[in-house]
Amino acid sequence: MLRRIYDWCIDAAHKPYALWILAMVSFAESSFFPIPPDVMLIPMSLARPERAWFYAALCTVTSVLGGVVGYAIGALLYDSVGHWLIQLYGYGDKVETFRAGYAEWGAWIILLKGLTPIPYKLVTITSGFAGYDIWLFILFSIIARGGRFFVVAIVLNRYGVVIREQIEKRLTMWVTIGAVVLVLGFVVAVKLV
């Protein structure tokens, strides 16, 4: 099954709809979706390393736009949708602590958590809920998300052929490592928030 999904993602890199899927996943991940855009970004960049920069730019733009939606959920809909999403991810009792941290550490929270596997939707929703300055939020989101996606682009553009060979030899191991990192991101988020 993993091989079929991987092969589909690699083949999709050559199809026009792949960009739409990548953009939608990146957008949704910043506001409500639990799966990071790396599931499409990495295979597409491996299939077409010369386009890795474009894919990273697309992820950055759509992630920031999705982050603005997450910000709006926190600012305008926290009592209904925002609270429900935070509870769904098990962070309901941590939001007040996280919000209080924004008064002193808002920029660092956005920058650091935007670069890590910690779910970014928590940052976007809480930024809105905390009333963090929207323009600073957008600026720091561009820096953090762009940094995250462009690091992937640099590595895959430069070493994509070697990385692709290693991934294809040990696909199950690399998917397992990716899943563990994602789960650890959620665990770390619970501990830090």
pLDDT tens, residue by residue, 28-61 = 998 888 778 888 898 888 888 889 999 999 999 9
Type of residue numbered 158: R
Q: Is the pLDDT of residue 5 over 60?
A: yes
pLDDT at residue 62 in the model: 97
Judged against a pLDDT cut of 60, whether residue 190 lies above it is answered with no
Q: State the average pLDDT for the chain.
A: 82
pLDDT digits (tens, 9 = 90+) for 131-154: 899 999 999 999 999 999 999 899
pLDDT score at 12: 77
Please give the full DSSP string across 39-86, using - where no structure is assigned: HHHHHHHHH-GGGHHHHHHHHHHHHHHHHHHHHHHHHHSIIIIIHHHH
- The mean pLDDT value for 75-96 works out to 73
Q: What are the angstrom distances between the C-alpha of 149 and each of 48, 57, 129, 172?
A: 15, 8, 26, 23
pLDDT band at 166 (very low <50, low <70, confident <90, very high): confident
Minimum mean pLDDT range among 16-20, 23-27, 162-166:
162-166
Lowest mean pLDDT among 22-31, 88-97, 131-140, 183-192: 183-192
Encoded tokens for 6: 């991987």
Q: Token pair 């007040």 is at which residue?
A: 96
Q: How many domains does the chain contain in total?
A: 1
Q: At what angle do helices 171-192 and 134-169 cross, to 10 degrees?
A: 150
Domain that holds residue 115: 2-192
Out of 22-26, 96-100, 120-124, 166-170, the most confident range is 22-26
Look at residue 70 and tell me whether its pLDDT is greater than 90.
Answer: yes
Token pair belonging to 170: 């040990």
Share of the chain above pLDDT 70, in %: 86
